[in-house]
């Protein structure tokens, strides 16, 4: 059972004290990481062993550079689309299918050029980390980021379906994401039955195993990916995939062989033969624009995913330890630089393996190191065993990973935050599928900015926060935001909160009363800052949202400035009742009232022939619905039976509720 009374630290003492827990967790994470590293590398257009290089180098370097205690570094499915797009732009198609000698040379050249892109992107990450990179994760709107990841999930699935079915027709495999989606029926028509059976078993196990794990606590320690290997490797041996041959099925002849297995070294320590160096000719001639584009994508998307993952792991860390995001970015950049220099994939802080690391009882960052050491031992000592893994099994794992990225629950979750967030989410998703990652995320950002303008945000307030600062004597700073508080001006807004609060050690009050719009990203990021202030024994308070309308029932829904609906209670009665009525109104919750002397005659007086005017009082109060109900109950029960009064209630809209 986790002991929360003592916070584990990743120093020499922690290494010794928590050795058992970290080694066990590292081994269990290794079981998850091994097949995923191989599958992700092949999907990226890199050799399979490139994913292992990344996990080994990344885990060991990050352990000693980053202070993130529980994140696992390694290749991630979220970068597949970028990596494969980079390789393909240099003319390569990857190593997942059988290649002729000429095709292999082209694939290797493209791979080496992609490594050069990785080197430059890694250098940018290092410099960005040194100059406070953590701020990058504060800019991008959350719905656009989730839409991008959902689109990546769809692309992963549609690109891995042919591999899971054993489709090798290269012309059929070509096309953009939307074209490939339309070709799915053709993939099934051209499948290789034996390979498709392996892929089908793998997919079924990936989806079913999480349910099976609920049957017994011991099964929770067995990862689905390892179950898939246990089932599919024997199937591959039964179909004799190590030897090229043909077979007949329903009157058709099919060919199978080693090309359907993972290409791995054929001897102990043969992994060192696969070390590959970058080719910097990628930054010359016709390739320069393509190379610079993917430097930007690797740098921005890879850094963003890593930062978001590290922040997410901090939230679920049982000891609530905080990662220095700038230092973590330096670690990721250093790892990527080393990986790219020897032939590895780009890496990030990976959320799924990090979550497994926590669930398996890891205490310190050395669990990450141990998972890399186990990978090193495995690929160095038993590469021929790894060669028996069917590519279709790895494709099955990636199909499941892609499904999780674009799970229907993601759409429902975004919808619950707000309809406008779903629009941004879908616009980004469709934009990525129809164009590419860069244009897709820009489309999502553009849609969000347009929504902000429609909601009344002035164009000049989209990118600049307008803040009024008041520092009080009690070490409290009040920040009054005017016009807007949205994702595009949040970085400067946040820096002011950090400076006045965490740096200068003050409590901070953020007043949004004069903002036309406070968007979802700002609502959620302010909530994150509240936790940071609590950890620093300070207080961050949010005020002024009473006059805003939430765009959904979600706690972090966007707030749009709007008139607040209240009830105006009007009572006309004899002037002798004035003091008692006012006293009771205030007692029942009215925070203000208006008393007006008046003259008049009621319907009953006129009916009785007495039309003379009498001195009366007109009393008004603007109150909440529940207060209005209590006042009416009081008038019915205590006043009306004994006095002639006129009472009415009407709905009114006010600019600010706290004025009444």
533: CATH: 3.30.750.24
Residue finishing a domain among 545, 561, 577: 561
C-alpha 199/C-alpha 394 separation (Å) is 8
Residues 652, 538 within the same domain: no
Residues 341, 374 within the same domain: yes
Question: What is the rounded average pLDDT of the residues 190-197?
Answer: 96
C-alpha 305/C-alpha 312 separation (Å) is 10
Q: Is residue 259 part of a domain?
A: yes
Higher pLDDT, 660 or 205: 205
* 191-206 per-residue burial string, b: 16 or more CB within 10 A, e: under 16: bbbbbbbbbbbbbebb
Q: Which of 173-182, 346-355, 419-428, 647-656 has the lowest mean pLDDT?
A: 647-656
Q: Is the dihedral angle over the CA atoms 177, 183, 185, 186 positive or is it negative?
A: negative
What was the pLDDT predicted at 308? 84
CATH code: domain of residue 588:
3.30.70.120
CB 512 within 8 A of CB 381: no
Q: Is residue 32 part of a domain?
A: yes
Which letter does DSSP use for residue 344 in this model? P
pLDDT at 607 over 80: no
What would the pLDDT profile of 382-396 be if each residue is shown by its tens digit?
999 999 999 999 999
Question: What is the rounded average pLDDT of the residues 38-54?
Answer: 95
Percentage of the chain lying above the pLDDT 90 cut: 74
Confidence of residue 380 (pLDDT cuts 50, 70, 90): very high
Which letter does DSSP use for residue 571 in this model? E
Residues 439, 394 within the same domain: no
Residue finishing a domain among 540, 561, 582: 561
Q: What is the mean pLDDT of the chain?
A: 91
Q: Is residue 588 part of a domain?
A: yes
Question: What is the rounded average pLDDT of the residues 267-277?
Answer: 92
pLDDT at 262 over 90: yes
Residue finishing a domain among 401, 433, 453: 453
Which letter does DSSP use for residue 6 in this model? S
Q: Is residue 2 part of a domain?
A: no
What was the pLDDT predicted at 136? 65
What was the pLDDT predicted at 615? 86
What would the pLDDT profile of 442-459 be if each residue is shown by its tens digit?
999 999 999 999 998 999
Question: What is the rounded average pLDDT of the residues 113-137?
Answer: 87
Question: What is the rounded average pLDDT of the residues 73-91?
Answer: 93
pLDDT at 213 over 60: yes
Confidence of residue 133 (pLDDT cuts 50, 70, 90): low
Question: What is the rounded average pLDDT of the residues 398-408?
Answer: 93
C-alpha 392/C-alpha 160 separation (Å) is 8
* C-alpha pair distances (Å), 101 with each of 107, 237, 393, 496: 10, 27, 26, 59
What was the pLDDT predicted at 137? 66
What was the pLDDT predicted at 170? 84
Residues 6+ apart with CB under 8 A from 421: 143, 414, 415, 520, 558
pLDDT at 132 over 80: no
Tokens of 548: 């805003």
Which letter does DSSP use for residue 591 in this model? S
What was the pLDDT predicted at 66? 93
CB 601 within 8 A of CB 614: yes
Question: What is the rounded average pLDDT of the residues 325-344?
Answer: 94
Range of 426's domain?
A: 418-453
Question: What is the rounded average pLDDT of the residues 175-203?
Answer: 95
Q: Is residue 7 part of a domain?
A: no
CB 50 within 8 A of CB 344: yes
pLDDT at 241 over 90: yes
pLDDT at 5 over 80: no
Q: How many CA atoms lie within 13 A of 403 on its CB side?
A: 12
C-alpha 110/C-alpha 279 separation (Å) is 9
Percentage of the chain lying above the pLDDT 70 cut: 97
Question: What is the rounded average pLDDT of the residues 287-291?
Answer: 95
Q: Is residue 1 part of a domain?
A: no
Residues 59, 183 within the same domain: yes
pLDDT at 473 over 80: no
Residues 431, 373 within the same domain: no
Residues 302, 213 within the same domain: yes
Residues 499, 382 within the same domain: no
What was the pLDDT predicted at 276? 96
Confidence of residue 533 (pLDDT cuts 50, 70, 90): very high
pLDDT at 134 over 70: no
Question: What is the rounded average pLDDT of the residues 226-244?
Answer: 96
Residues 154, 259 within the same domain: yes
What was the pLDDT predicted at 657? 66
pLDDT at 258 over 90: yes
Residues 403, 438 within the same domain: no
pLDDT at 3 over 70: no
SS3 at position 54: helix
Radius of gyration over every alpha carbon of the chain, rounded to an integer in angstroms: 32
Query: What residues pair up with 467 in beta bridges, in sequence order?
Result: 481
Residues 6+ apart with CB under 8 A from 566: 622, 623, 624, 625, 651, 652, 653, 654, 657, 660
Residues 510, 636 within the same domain: no
Residues 6+ apart with CB under 8 A from 45: 83, 84, 86, 87, 88, 92, 93, 94, 95, 107, 110, 111, 114
| Beta-sheet strands, E only, within 486-581 | 507-518, 540-543, 548-550, 559-561, 564-574
What was the pLDDT predicted at 322? 86
What would the pLDDT profile of 115-124 be if each residue is shown by its tens digit?
999 999 999 9
- Cβ atoms within 10 A of the Cβ of 583, count? 10
What would the pLDDT profile of 553-584 be if each residue is shown by its tens digit?
999 999 998 777 789 999 999 888 999 999 99
Confidence of residue 611 (pLDDT cuts 50, 70, 90): low
C-alpha 408/C-alpha 406 separation (Å) is 6
Which of 107, 110, 113, 82 has the alpha carbon at shortest distance from 95? 107
SS3 at position 190: coil
C-alpha 34/C-alpha 52 separation (Å) is 7
Residues 203, 335 within the same domain: yes
Residues 56, 132 within the same domain: yes
* Count of structural domains, the chain: 4
pLDDT at 527 over 60: yes
Q: Is residue 4 part of a domain?
A: no
pLDDT at 500 over 60: yes
Q: Is residue 3 part of a domain?
A: no
In three-state form (DSSP H/G/I as H, E/B as E, the rest C), the secondary structure along 89-142 is HCCCCCCCCCCCHHHHHHHHHHHHHHHHHHHHHHHHHHHHHHCCHHHHHHCCCH
Confidence of residue 44 (pLDDT cuts 50, 70, 90): very high
């Amino acid at each position: 059972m986790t002991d929360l009374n003592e916070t584990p630290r990743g120093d020499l003492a922690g290494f010794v004290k928590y050795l058992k827990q970290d080694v066990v967790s590292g081994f269990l994470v290794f079981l998850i990481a091994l097949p995923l590293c191989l599958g992700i590398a092949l999907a990226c257009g890199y050799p399979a062993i490139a994913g292992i290089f990344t996990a080994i180098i990344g885990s060991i370097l990050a352990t000693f550079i980053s202070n993130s205690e529980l994140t696992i570094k390694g290749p991630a499915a979220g970068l597949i689309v970028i990596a494969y797009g980079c390789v393909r732009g240099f003319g390569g198609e990857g190593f997942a299918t059988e290649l002729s000698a000429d095709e292999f040379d082209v694939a290797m050249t493209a791979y080496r050029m992609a490594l050069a892109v990785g080197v430059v992107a890694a250098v940018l990450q290092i410099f960005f980390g040194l100059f406070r990179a953590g701020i990058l994760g504060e800019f991008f709107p959350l719905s656009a980021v989730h839409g991008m990841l959902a689109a990546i999930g769809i692309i992963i699935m549609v690109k891995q379906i042919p591999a899971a079915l054993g489709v090798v027709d290269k012309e059929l495999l070509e096309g953009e994401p939307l074209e490939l989606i339309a070709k799915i029926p053709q993939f099934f028509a051209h499948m290789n039955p034996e390979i498709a059976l392996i892929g089908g078993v793998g997919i079924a196990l990936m989806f079913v195993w999480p349910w099976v794990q609920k049957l017994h606590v011991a099964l929770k320690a067995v990862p689905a990916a390892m179950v898939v290997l246990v089932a599919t490797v024997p199937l591959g041996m039964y179909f004799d995939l190590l030897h090229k041959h043909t077979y007949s099925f329903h009157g058709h002849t099919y060919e199978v062989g080693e090309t359907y297995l993972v290409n791995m070294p054929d001897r102990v320590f043969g992994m060192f033969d696969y070390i590959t160096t970058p080719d910097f000719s990628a930054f010359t001639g016709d390739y320069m624009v393509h190379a610079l584009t993917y430097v930007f994508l690797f740098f921005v998307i890879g850094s963003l995913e890593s930062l978001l993952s590290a922040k997410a792991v901090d939230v679920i860390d049982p000891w609530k330890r905080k990662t220095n995001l700038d230092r973590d970015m330096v670690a990721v950049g250093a790892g990527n630089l080393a990986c790219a220099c020897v032939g590895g994939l780009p890496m990030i802080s990976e959320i799924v393996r990090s979550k497994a690391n926590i669930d398996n009882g890891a205490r310190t960052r050395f669990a990450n190191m141990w998972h890399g050491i186990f990978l090193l031992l495995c690929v160095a000592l038993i590469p021929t065993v790894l060669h028996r893994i069917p590519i279709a099994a790895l494709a099955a794992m990636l199909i499941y990973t892609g499904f999780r990225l674009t799970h229907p629950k993601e759409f429902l979750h975004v919808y619950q935050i707000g309809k406008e967030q779903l629009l941004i989410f879908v616009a980004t998703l469709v934009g990525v599928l129809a164009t590419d990652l860069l244009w897709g995320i820009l489309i999502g950002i553009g849609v969000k900015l347009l929504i902000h303008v429609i909601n009344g945000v002035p164009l000049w307030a989209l990118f600049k926060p307008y803040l009024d600062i008041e520092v009080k004597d009690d070490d409290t700073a009040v920040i009054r935001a005017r016009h807007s508080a949205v994702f595009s001006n949040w970085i400067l807004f946040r820096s002011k909160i950090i400076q006045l609060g965490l740096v200068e050690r003050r409590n901070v009050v953020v007043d949004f009363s004069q903002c036309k719009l406070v968007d979802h990203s700002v609502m959620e990021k302010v909530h994150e800052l509240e936790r940071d202030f609590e950890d620093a024994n300070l207080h961050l308070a949010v005020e002024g949202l009473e006059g805003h309308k939430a765009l959904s029932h979600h706690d972090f829904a966007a707030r749009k400035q709007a008139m607040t609906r209240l009830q105006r209670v009007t009572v006309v009665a004899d002037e002798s009742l004035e003091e008692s009525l006012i006293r009771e109104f205030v007692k029942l919750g009215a925070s203000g009232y208006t008393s007006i002397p008046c003259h008049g005659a009621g319907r009953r007086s006129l009916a009785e022939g007495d039309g003379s005017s009498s001195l009366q009082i007109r009393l008004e109060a603007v109150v909440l619905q529940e207060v209005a109900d209590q006042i009416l109950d009081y008038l019915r029960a205590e006043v009306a039976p004994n006095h002639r009064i006129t009472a009415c209630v009407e709905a009114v809209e006010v600019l600010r509720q706290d004025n009444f």
